């Protein structure tokens, strides 16, 4: 099959979250299954043009009010034959930030910026003379592609192409004033028919949920949860209506990058057979984070966007968050890597100053994220909701026991500790409250000190889990086939 991935993020070019990892890894896995997979995304300012190949001639994209003349660059995804195409338009994408910058977290002209991406995806196919069987769009910023396929008269030549839309996070929908709607280039009839209308505003995600042939999300449990009001972000009704077309497929892990036996970013590599070597990474982590170098105290690690979704309010909320109590009442060390909301960054700095067994690094740091996975004993993810989550899977692979909330992909990947039998791969909390985070971290630390055999058995059990993209790619292949069959 010819598959075009339309996305606003793809590693290693542009990333704000798990979406970027998923798109690239899935593309490579599908291409290994023999499909011709190509990716299209904007060329943001930070993507260096000199490392790319220019496709000669400007590309005219008829987009809303105007014809926009873009440039087109290409390269291959590193380590693969998957072509990546970059839409180049200085005025639209030539700035820092994918969706916004600090101070303007959502660019005012995002409807226009991402409408251009949707139209350019089809224009690209014409220009390179390549017809996709499947247009696979990811999250609201790429939502226009499946919508155009169904509702825009200009794309008749794609009438045998089917569309798949993947929800990586329901919390981000692309909702704007309807005066921006003309940028989509669609008629006002489609404002209602395609499902844009949302309390008299326009909603990109909603329209993709209505218009795409098949919908997927990144774990089976999240696919069920988003059909309920608590998790559906107001879209639960549409998703219940479309439940026959909604499939949950767990994200895989790129085991070339996240593998303690091969990881070049950690001081000492190890496997399940040489798990004792993990202690050397723990020592290195303690050193790097300025903590006491002591093998006899458990480390709880965390790598996260500092956003409410991740449970950071309950953990670090001034006065009521449980981190202070955890660090003062439980004998452990805590290591946090993250960036995000202002209040939370400030709170982390305060805890850094006040607690000798707490160390936070505020920022984005790929190397440190690998060291935290390799050097920690536990990994904390008390998410409010979690479409899939990657770090709990990395943790299992690295023999680092996840402490997670019972939601989304965390349910599909972590098996709760049974203190009678010693079975399980992690520790699960049900309610997102400061007390329950405290209790569950306390439970994990108790097991670490008192049930070392159970802890070791859980680590080994976790390290056996298989999260390869090859498994997920086959499931996407089935979705593509049924989308084409039902077209």
Residue 366 interacting with ligand ADP (CB under 6 A): yes
Per CB under 6 A, 408 contacts ligand ADP:
no
Q: Which range binds ligand ADP by CB under 6 A, 269-277, 287-295, 332-340, 449-457?
A: 332-340
With respect to ligand ADP, which residue has the nearer C-beta, 164 or 388? Answer: 388
Return the ∠ at Cα 82 (arms to 143 and 74), rounded to 5°: 80
* Closer residue to ligand ADP in complex, CB, 115/391: 391
Considering the rule CB under 6 A, would residue 21 count as an interface residue with ligand ADP?
A: yes
Q: Are 347 and 321 in contact (CB under 8 A)?
A: yes
* Residues 374-393, mask of contacts with ligand ADP (x by CB under 6 A): --------------xxxx--
Contacting range for ligand ADP; rule: CB under 6 A; set: 28-36, 327-335, 360-368, 431-439: 360-368
Phi-psi sector, 57: left (phi>0), alpha (psi -120 to 50), beta: left
Least Å from the CB of residue 339 to ligand ADP: 5
Instruction: Return the residues of window 262-321 that contact ligand ADP according to CB under 6 A.
Output: 303-305
What is the β-pairing status of strands 134-138 and 201-203?
Answer: unpaired
Torsion, Cα of 23, 28, 32, 37 (10° steps): 70
**Torsions phi, psi of 106, nearest 5?**
-130, 105
Interaction of residue 219 with ligand ADP, rule CB under 6 A: no
Decide whether 94 or 363 has the Cβ nearer to ligand ADP.
Answer: 363
Contact range with ligand ADP by CB under 6 A, out of 54-62, 231-239, 345-353, 364-372: 364-372
- Give me the least distance between CB of 33 and ligand ADP, in Å please: 23
H helix or E strand, kind and range, residue 372: helix 366-375
Q: Which is nearer to ligand ADP, 281 or 304 (CB)?
A: 304
Q: Which uninterrupted H or E stretch holds 93?
A: helix 90-93
The residues, ordered by sequence, that sit 6+ positions from 326 with a Cβ below 8 Å of its Cβ are 300, 332, 334, 437, 438, 441, 442
Q: Which is nearer to ligand ADP, 369 or 425 (CB)?
A: 369
Total residues in contact with ligand ADP, by rule CB under 6 A: 17
Which strand (E) or helix (H) includes residue 280? helix 278-288
What residues does 39 pair with on adjacent strands? 5, 84
Please choose, from the candidates 425, 437, 323, the residue with its C-alpha nearest in 3D space to the C-alpha of residue 383.
437
Does the protein bind ligand ADP through residue 339 (CB under 6 A)?
Answer: yes
Considering the complex, what minimum distance in angstroms separates the CB of residue 276 from ligand ADP? 25
Closer to ligand ADP by Cβ: residue 21 or 477? 21
The number of CA neighbours under 13 Å toward the Cβ of 49 is 15
**Closer to ligand ADP at the Cβ: 304 or 333?**
304
Radius of gyration of the chain (CA): 23
By C-beta, is 125 or 429 nearer to ligand ADP? 429
Nearest-approach distance from CB 16 to ligand ADP, in angstroms: 7
Distance CA 5, CA 32 (A): 15
Residues that bind ligand ADP (CB under 6 A): 17-18, 21, 303-305, 337-339, 364-366, 369, 388-391
């Amino acid at each position: 099959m010819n598959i075009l991935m339309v996305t606003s993020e793809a590693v290693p070019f542009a990333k704000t979250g798990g979406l970027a990892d998923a798109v690239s890894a899935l593309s490579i896995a599908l291409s290994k299954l023999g499909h011709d997979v190509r990716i299209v995304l904007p060329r943001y300012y930070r993507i260096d043009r000199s490392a790319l190949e220019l496709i000669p001639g400007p590309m005219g994209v008829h987009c809303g009010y105007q014809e926009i003349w873009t440039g087109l660059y290409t390269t291959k995804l590193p380590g693969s034959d998957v072509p990546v195409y970059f839409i180049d338009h200085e005025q639209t994408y030539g700035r820092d930030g994918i969706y916004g910058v600090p101070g303007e977290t959502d660019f005012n002209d995002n409807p226009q910026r991402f409408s251009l991406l949707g139209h350019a995806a089809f224009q690209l196919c014409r220009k390179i003379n390549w017809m996709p069987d499947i247009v696979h769009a990811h999250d609201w910023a790429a939502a226009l592609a499946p919508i155009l396929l169904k509702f825009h008269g200009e794309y008749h030549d794609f009438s045998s192409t089917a569309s798949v839309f993947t929800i990586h996070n329901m919390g981000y929908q692309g909702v704007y004033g309807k005066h921006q709607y003309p940028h989509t280039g669609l008629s006002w009839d489609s404002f209602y028919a395609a499902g844009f209308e949302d309390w008299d505003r326009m909603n990109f995600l909603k329209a993709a949920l209505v218009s795409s042939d098949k919908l997927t999300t990144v774990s089976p449990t999240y696919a069920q949860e988003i059909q309920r009001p608590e998790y559906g972000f107001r879209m639960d009704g549409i998703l219940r209506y479309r439940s026959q077309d909604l499939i949950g497929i767990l994200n895989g892990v790129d085991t070339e990058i996240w593998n303690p036996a091969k990881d070049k970013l950690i001081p000492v590599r190890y496997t399940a057979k040489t798990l004792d070597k993990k202690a050397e990474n723990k020592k290195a982590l303690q050193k790097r984070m300025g903590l006491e170098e002591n093998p006899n105290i458990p480390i709880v690690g965390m790598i996260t966007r500092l956003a409410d979704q991740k449970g950071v309010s309950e953990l670090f909320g001034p006065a009521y968050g449980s981190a202070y109590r955890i660090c003062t009442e439980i004998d452990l060390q805590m290591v946090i890597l993250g960036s995000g909301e202002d209040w939370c960054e400030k709170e982390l700095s305060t805890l850094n100053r006040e607690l000798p067994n707490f160390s936070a690094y505020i920022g984005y740091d790929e190397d440190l994220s690998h060291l935290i996975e390799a050097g920690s004993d536990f990994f904390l993810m008390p998410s409010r909701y979690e479409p899939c989550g990657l770090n709990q899977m990395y943790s299992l692979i690295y023999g680092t026991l996840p402490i997670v909330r019972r939601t989304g992909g965390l349910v599909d990947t972590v098996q709760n500790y049974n203190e009678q039998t010693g079975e399980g791969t992690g520790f699960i909390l049900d309610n997102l409250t400061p007390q329950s985070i405290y209790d569950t971290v306390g439970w994990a630390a108790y097991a670490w000190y008192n049930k070392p055999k159970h802890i070791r058995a859980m680590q080994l059990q976790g390290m056996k889990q298989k999260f390869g993209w090859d498994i997920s790619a086959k499931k996407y292949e089935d979705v593509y086939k049924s989308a084409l069959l039902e077209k």
